[in-house]
Structure 1
Amino acid sequence: MVLIFLYYSSGKLHLRTSVQKSQAALDSLHSVGRLVVSEYDKQGFVTKLDRKLFLKPAPMFLDPNFKRLSKISIYPPPFGVRTQEKIIDHILSATNSYSLGSELDSLSCKKCIIIGNGGILFNKSLGAKIDQYDVIVRLNEAPVAGFEKDVGSKTTMRITYPEGAIQKPERYEKSSLFVFSAFKPMDFKWLRHMVYQDKLRSMEGFWKSVARIVPRDPEDMRILNPYFIQEAAFRFIGLPHNKGLMGRGNIPTLGTVAITMALHNCDEVAVAGFGYDMNTPRAPLHYYEKLKMSAIKESWTHNISKEKEFLRKLVTGGVIQDLTNGI
């Protein structure tokens, strides 16, 4: 379970996320020969990507009106918010901020990059290029300090969950958003403790140790819209539905969830540091530690091979470009 998030790639998406920009996106796609027609298998999973899949806006973060989002109201975590409405209301009343911020929200063309944690990033010297993006997304506890040459120095948001969160307060960036992604009901209780700075008295319900403090003000905390977990799992990757409950091999990795979020909310999307090659067992698994590729073990929650199929569809369809060539 330690090696849950193993995808690291890069790419660009020239798609508009609002109805007003749809025609411009279509014209652009026509001009570069990237139009793709959707195709589905017998179970309704996407087998060939259509740019229209990403044109429908979906809010990055939950706001006080989250109950209007019908697609997440029917499922409990990780695919929705059912059974967690009251605690989410309580958390949102304290955070009181629900967007990227006025400066980024006002951009007419938003360029975003998702930074994976893969060893494929090591010694690539992509740091300066990464820092040129408007929105820089990092995952879990992957460090920045000491690795700027390869991964950049800026962070807009860090998406994580309790077991993946940075545990040493001094390692947190001072200006980034803390973006919380819930995979089980217990996760929301943890977030409430972090937001209200209450002492976390028990680790029961977590599969490993979790952070006991998040050194960010409530207004710098967000709740990621669980629709992106749901959409990535059931519509794009084709994971088992299991009646909308967490089950064996039906949870997308956080990296793929972040990519799905970006496809709906950014005009251009890049990713870096996705992918691993089991044919090189001595290669570094992560860019920041000595753990080798051979340490990868089968995950109970994820289906790595099916996720790679999805990411390859994005690449071959011209929707994203893999800068580190790991997909």
Structure 2
Amino acid sequence: MSCLNSEQPAEGGEMLPDLAMVYSDEDSLEHVKMFQMSTKTLWLWLLLVFLLLTYYKGTNKSSNSSMLPCGGLLTQHKWERLNLNISRQTHLFLEMKDFFWHKHLSNQTLPYGIKGNELLLLKIISKVQINYVPDNIENLRCRTCVVVGNGFSIKNTSLGSAIDKHHVVIRLNDSPVRGYEEDVGGKTTMRLFYPESATYNPNLQNNPDTLMVLVPFKQEDLHWLKAIVYKEKIVSKGFWKHPPLKWLGDISKIRVLDPHYLHQTADRLLHIPLHSNNRKPVHPTTGILAVFVALNYCDVVHIAGFGYPSSKNQNHRIHYFGYDTIKSMKNSYHDVQHEADALKRLEDLGAIVFLHPHT
């Protein structure tokens, strides 16, 4: 009796299918399915690797980049590394609510507190600060900021376009922008100043939406601001340099920096005595104060135009504008070398990044 095989016709004269062929077709289909799944998995892995490489590249940009990675956790760790024993604070300016919710807003007098000037400040603030910081900046999940110093070191750096890419650009005192855009940019979000460093027409060197942030060092500074806000006669007595007797700026853009920042800059960052028995006190510069403000408010902090030339050359210019020299700083109330050391520590900790080479 012969065995049934693929060559043998079945009943009805039809050929039975070759079992080996059946199994072969099923195996092929399975192989196709497995190949398709493997290909899909491979593409997913390639996509994941691409995204990781893109992220890694973005987080390892050079110090000349206009942006750096940021996030709440990263920023908090960076702040904690400063070891200042104070909390990070993003509330920058004095507000009306400060005066109504606290019995004792400050136990320090100017420039490190407002003790004795509460009523004067209340009159000023009641007239200004309808909007404290624009929502398009305040609501950012990650704020990239640059503090543009007035130092000669920024000259011929061509950093203007990189500076303008930051969300917040902080400038100091009466530093000009027009004619210097190639190096310093043209955008100004905040300008920290005091009466002696003010210009009579801030519209000439600032954007229409620039916040003019007063840093009050003495009671005369607040009287000067009150006279501007209420259109009163400005008295120049009590200033080391005549402030503008007329101010053409937008009053709604005026802000008053919380003295907390100057206090902590002096006490925790620079470790200088708040009240000295010496006739010549030492106070932080507006520049180092702006850096400390940025460290609190911003997630990424870049700086440019900081650092003074060697004091060996007394005729070396110290600003990218004007003709002031090292010699003109002889009677300064600032310890610039001490501040340079503080900036170096911040740089070493990764808290700030210089946008240009420096010494």
Q: What range describes the TM-score normalised by the shorter chain of this pair?
A: 0.7 to 0.9
| CA distance 1:98–1:142, change in 2 (3 Å) | same
Contact 2:70 2:300 (C-alpha < 8 Å) held by counterparts: yes
| CA distance 1:71–1:157, change in 2 (3 Å) | farther
Selected match of 2:259 from 196, 213, 226: 226
Matched, 1:257 2:289: yes
Say which one has the larger Rg: 2
Structure 2 residues without counterparts, runs of 5 or longer: 1-64
Number of equivalent positions: 292
Aligned to 1:277: 309
Aligned to 1:143: 176
Counterparts of 1:81-120 in structure 2, within 5 Å, are 81-97=114-130, 99-120=132-153
| CA distance 1:246–1:141, change in 2 (3 Å) | farther
CA distance in 1, matches of 2:104, 2:330: 33
Q: CA RMSD in A?
A: 2.8
Q: CA deviation at 1:207?
A: 0.8
Aligned to 1:197: 231
| CA distance 1:307–1:94, change in 2 (3 Å) | same
Q: Give the alignment's TM-score, normalised by structure 2.
A: 0.74
Higher helix share: 2
Selected match of 1:306 from 313, 331, 338: 338
CA distance in 2, matches of 1:252, 1:275: 14
CA distance in 2, matches of 1:313, 1:326: 14
Q: CA deviation at 1:250?
A: 2.9
Contact 2:213 2:256 (C-alpha < 8 Å) held by counterparts: yes
Contact 1:276 1:326 (C-alpha < 8 Å) held by counterparts: no
Identity %: 31
Q: Kindly indicate whether structure 1 or structure 2 has the higher relative contact order, using CA contacts under 8 Å at least 6 residues apart.
A: 1
| CA distance 1:252–1:35, change in 2 (3 Å) | closer
CA distance in 2, matches of 1:236, 1:264: 12
Contact 1:159 1:180 (C-alpha < 8 Å) held by counterparts: yes
| CA distance 1:26–1:252, change in 2 (3 Å) | closer
Q: CA deviation at 1:88?
A: 0.8
CA distance in 2, matches of 1:261, 1:303: 19
Q: Give the alignment's TM-score, normalised by structure 1.
A: 0.80
Letter of the 1:99 partner, please give it: Y
Selected match of 1:287 from 320, 332, 346: 320
Contact 1:116 1:271 (C-alpha < 8 Å) held by counterparts: yes
Letter of the 1:189 partner, please give it: H
Structure 1 residues without counterparts, runs of 5 or longer: 1-9, 37-48
| CA distance 1:26–1:112, change in 2 (3 Å) | closer
Q: CA deviation at 1:320?
A: 1.1
Contact 1:99 1:105 (C-alpha < 8 Å) held by counterparts: no
Q: CA deviation at 1:317?
A: 1.5
| CA distance 1:234–1:14, change in 2 (3 Å) | farther
